[in-house]
């Protein structure tokens, strides 16, 4: 507490109580420490209360009160020695136990692990201390009925609204919860790939200047918790002091051997007395701003706003182009997708056929050629709006064989065939009894996953799928 006490100015108290004999007994109370002055906190609570029906019935009450942080020791004493939580001047709720707040301890966490919502909509690292075992709520039918008459689903619904918590019948909260936010956080982490720099933004209370930020770098590994190869402190931060209580600062650090596609970056925010307050771990490519990570995707989404790009690819059967036939439009949009995957595509259009030089007999056909000079890779693409037939895959196999023998023999260029279609729920590859290979198939479901990979910097997933489509093209919450 002493390490961050300078940042606290007010105590925000919310409580739910039920009537028992001549007393009001607390069944769920929240104590939040805030950086606001008392009047600002009171104004915030008053504005919040205006949005909901007040709950002050003969059997159920939900109250809010603000005390100055200078009352903290008194609040702890009242809870421990008297078993009372003051909820107004001369008025309080009886606690079902007498907690010793001064000796309570816990660990700082970040993320949405607590049932207590933030008072300022910022997800600050937080020490949440709970007293009383969560279990069946003492709120009964009469209390729920009282809430019903006021327009709430039940008493817990009223508590969620007025106390700004997230509780339900399965997790009805605790007798008393104390929320001690640590007003320092990592606001952003960005990778500047051309300059091989990691840029970090920090938000902190102006009364908490003693922080360290450390960047840790680790290469690609399959080992959990593998050691980092470098630990680099960010020594200088530029603070933007606008006079507000919460300050914004930014700094950067050079990583000379940074490999965006392979390296993992962990940023640690450390307090000299509290230790690690927050860390942020991600693969470096995910820290590159989207407009730099995939230039073409970001530019194209500016023209195809909202869900239009997804619809053109995932629901091609439902799109009616104004200037092209539906099949030609699908080929065009697939070529866009291939461009965003880093390939150079050519829509062949009326030149899609491979003709015998003398007889002009059509030997095979390809809708799109897409190449990567760097990868020494050529993709030959067939497109169909309907579910592909075996002959569609066999046509691409033959086209690939012709190109490998007649054009790329001895060059080391890898020629791969793939089928795109707008059907749903189909197989992800074609395996013929007459051939020892497979032809990958990308249907509408896979197209949706591909767009997700594009937006999260995971273009390599497509090429992994092409090399072995038997594993399928699947979504993943964790980049690799």
Which residues sit opposite 281 in a β-bridge? 266
With a cut of 60, say whether residue 336 has pLDDT above it: yes
Are residue 167 and residue 244 in the same domain, yes or no?
no
Are residue 73 and residue 215 in the same domain, yes or no?
no
Last residue of a domain, one of 288, 308, 323: 288
Given 3-state DSSP classes, what are the helix, strand and coil percentages for the chain, each rounded to the nearest 5? 30, 30, 40
Confirm whether 194 is domain-assigned: yes
Confirm whether 89 is domain-assigned: yes
Rounded CA separation 100/109 (Å):
22
User: Which residues, 6+ apart, have CB-to-CB distance to 436 below 8 Å?
Assistant: none
Rounded CA separation 14/34 (Å):
13
Task: Please state the rounded mean pLDDT for residues 313-338.
Answer: 88
Predicted local distance difference test score (pLDDT) of residue 257: 87
Last residue of a domain, one of 181, 208, 228: 181
Are residue 298 and residue 199 in the same domain, yes or no?
no
Rounded CA separation 161/6 (Å):
30
Are residue 241 and residue 310 in the same domain, yes or no?
no
Q: Is 264 left (phi over 0), alpha (psi -120 to 50) or beta?
A: beta
Predicted local distance difference test score (pLDDT) of residue 218: 85
Q: Mapping DSSP to helix (H, G, I), strand (E, B) and coil, where does residue 208 land? A: coil
What value does the mean pLDDT of the chain take?
A: 89
Which CATH number does the domain housing residue 298 bear? Answer: 3.40.91
Domain count, the chain: 3
Predicted local distance difference test score (pLDDT) of residue 476: 62
Confirm whether 480 is domain-assigned: no
**What is the percentage of the chain residues whose pLDDT exceeds 90?**
57
Are residue 119 and residue 264 in the same domain, yes or no?
no
Domain of 55? Answer: 5-181
Q: Which of 269, 281, 172 is nearest to 221 (CA)?
A: 281
Beta strands in 35-165 (DSSP E): 60-68, 84-88, 91-94, 126-131
Confirm whether 478 is domain-assigned: no
Predicted local distance difference test score (pLDDT) of residue 44: 97
Confidence of residue 479 (pLDDT cuts 50, 70, 90): very low
Beta strands in 238-389 (DSSP E): 238-240, 246-254, 264-271, 275-283, 344-347, 353-355, 362-365, 368-372, 377-384
Last residue of a domain, one of 267, 288, 309: 288
Span of 211-215, 223-227, 277-281, 300-304 with lowest mean pLDDT: 223-227
Are residue 302 and residue 260 in the same domain, yes or no?
no
Predicted local distance difference test score (pLDDT) of residue 480: 44
What phi, psi does 358 have (nearest 5°)?
A: -95, -50
Are residue 189 and residue 177 in the same domain, yes or no?
no
For residue 467, what are its two tokens? 């090399």
Given a contact cutoff of 8 angstroms between Cβ atoms, the answer to whether 211 and 271 are in contact is yes
Helices (H) and strands (E) in the chain, counts: 11, 23
Predicted local distance difference test score (pLDDT) of residue 56: 95
Dihedral angle computed from the Cα positions of residues 204, 205, 208 and 209, in that order, rounded to the nearest 10 degrees: 60
Are residue 334 and residue 264 in the same domain, yes or no?
no
Task: Please state the rounded mean pLDDT for residues 189-197.
Answer: 91
Burial annotation 242-268 (CB, 10 A radius, 16+ → b, else e): eeeebbbbbbbbebeebebeebbbbbb
With a cut of 90, say whether residue 91 has pLDDT above it: no
Which stretches of 117-154 are DSSP H helices? 141-149
Confirm whether 476 is domain-assigned: no
Given a contact cutoff of 8 angstroms between Cβ atoms, the answer to whether 259 and 288 are in contact is no
With a cut of 80, say whether residue 335 has pLDDT above it: yes
Are residue 268 and residue 334 in the same domain, yes or no?
no
Confidence of residue 350 (pLDDT cuts 50, 70, 90): confident
DSSP of 239-274? EE--S-SEEEEEEEEE-TT--TTT-EEEEEEEETTT
Rounded CA separation 229/294 (Å):
28
pLDDT tens profile 206-243: 998 888 999 999 887 656 666 788 888 887 788 888 88
DSSP of 210-235? --EEEEEEE---SSTTPPPSEEEEE-
pLDDT tens profile 44-57: 999 999 999 999 99
Which CATH number does the domain housing residue 282 bear? Answer: 2.60.40.10
Given a contact cutoff of 8 angstroms between Cβ atoms, the answer to whether 285 and 454 are in contact is no
pLDDT tens profile 137-176: 788 889 999 999 999 999 999 999 999 999 988 888 899 9
- CB-count exposure of residue 419 (10 Å: 0-12, 13-18, 19+): buried
Are residue 253 and residue 349 in the same domain, yes or no?
no
Confidence of residue 384 (pLDDT cuts 50, 70, 90): very high
Q: Mapping DSSP to helix (H, G, I), strand (E, B) and coil, where does residue 162 land? A: helix
Other residues' Cβ atoms within 10 Å of the Cβ of residue 76: 17
Q: Which of 252, 176, 255 is nearest to 218 (CA)?
A: 255
Confirm whether 129 is domain-assigned: yes
Are residue 276 and residue 328 in the same domain, yes or no?
no
Are residue 385 and residue 418 in the same domain, yes or no?
yes
Which residues sit opposite 179 in a β-bridge? 32, 128
Give me the sign of the Cα torsion angle 66, 67, 72, 74: negative
Confirm whether 268 is domain-assigned: yes
Confirm whether 334 is domain-assigned: yes
Confidence of residue 280 (pLDDT cuts 50, 70, 90): very high
DSSP 110: -
């Amino acid at each position: 507490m002493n390490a961050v006490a300078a940042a606290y100015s007010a105590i925000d108290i919310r409580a739910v109580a039920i009537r028992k004999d001549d007393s009001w007994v607390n069944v769920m109370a929240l104590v939040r420490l805030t950086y606001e002055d008392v009047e600002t906190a009171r104004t915030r609570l008053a504005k919040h209360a205006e949005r909901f029906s007040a709950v002050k019935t003969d059997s159920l009450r939900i109250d809010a009160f603000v005390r100055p942080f200078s009352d903290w020791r008194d609040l702890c004493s009242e809870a421990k020695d008297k078993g009372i939580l003051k909820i107004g001047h001369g008025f309080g709720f009886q606690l079902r136990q007498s907690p010793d707040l001064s000796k309570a301890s816990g660990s700082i966490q970040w993320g949405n692990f607590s049932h207590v919502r933030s008072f300022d909509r910022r997800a600050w690292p937080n020490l949440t201390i709970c007293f009383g075992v969560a279990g069946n709520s003492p709120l009964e039918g009469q209390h729920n009925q009282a809430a019903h008459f006021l327009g709430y689903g039940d008493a817990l619904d009223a508590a969620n609204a007025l106390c700004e918590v997230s509780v339900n019948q399965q997790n009805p909260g605790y007798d008393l919860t104390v929320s001690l936010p640590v007003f320092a956080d990592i606001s952003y982490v960005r990778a500047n790939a051309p300059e091989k720099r990691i840029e970090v933004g920090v938000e902190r209370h102006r009364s908490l200047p003693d922080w360290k930020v450390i960047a840790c770098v680790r290469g690609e590994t399959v080992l959990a918790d593998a050691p980092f190869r470098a630990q680099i402190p960010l020594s200088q931060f530029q603070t933007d002091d606008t006079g507000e209580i919460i300050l914004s600062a930014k700094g950067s650090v050079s990583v000379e051997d940074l490999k965006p596609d392979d390296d993992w970056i962990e940023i640690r925010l450390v307090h000299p007395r509290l230790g690690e307050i927050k860390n942020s771990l991600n693969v470096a490519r995910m820290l590159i701003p989207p407009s730099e990570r995939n230039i073409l995707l970001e530019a194209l989404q500016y023209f195809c706003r909202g869900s239009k790009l997804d619809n053109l690819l995932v629901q091609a059967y439902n799109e009616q182009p104004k200037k092209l036939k539906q099949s030609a439009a699908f080929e065009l949009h697939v070529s866009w997708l291939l461009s965003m995957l880093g390939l150079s595509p050519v829509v062949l259009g009326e030149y899609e056929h491979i003709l015998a030089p003398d007889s002009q007999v059509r030997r095979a056909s390809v809708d799109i050629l897409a190449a990567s000079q760097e990868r020494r890779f050529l993709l030959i693409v067939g497109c169909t709006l309907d579910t592909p037939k075996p002959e569609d895959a066999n046509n691409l196999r033959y086209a690939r064989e012709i190109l490998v023998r007649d054009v790329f023999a001895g060059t080391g260029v890898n020629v791969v065939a793939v089928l795109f279609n707008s059907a749903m729920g189909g197989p992800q590859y074609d395996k013929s009894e007459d051939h020892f290979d497979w032809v990958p198939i990308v249907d509408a479901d896979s197209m949706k996953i591909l767009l997700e990979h594009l937006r999260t910097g995971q273009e390599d997933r497509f090429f992994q799928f092409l090399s072995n489509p038997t594993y399928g093209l699947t979504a993943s919450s964790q980049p690799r």
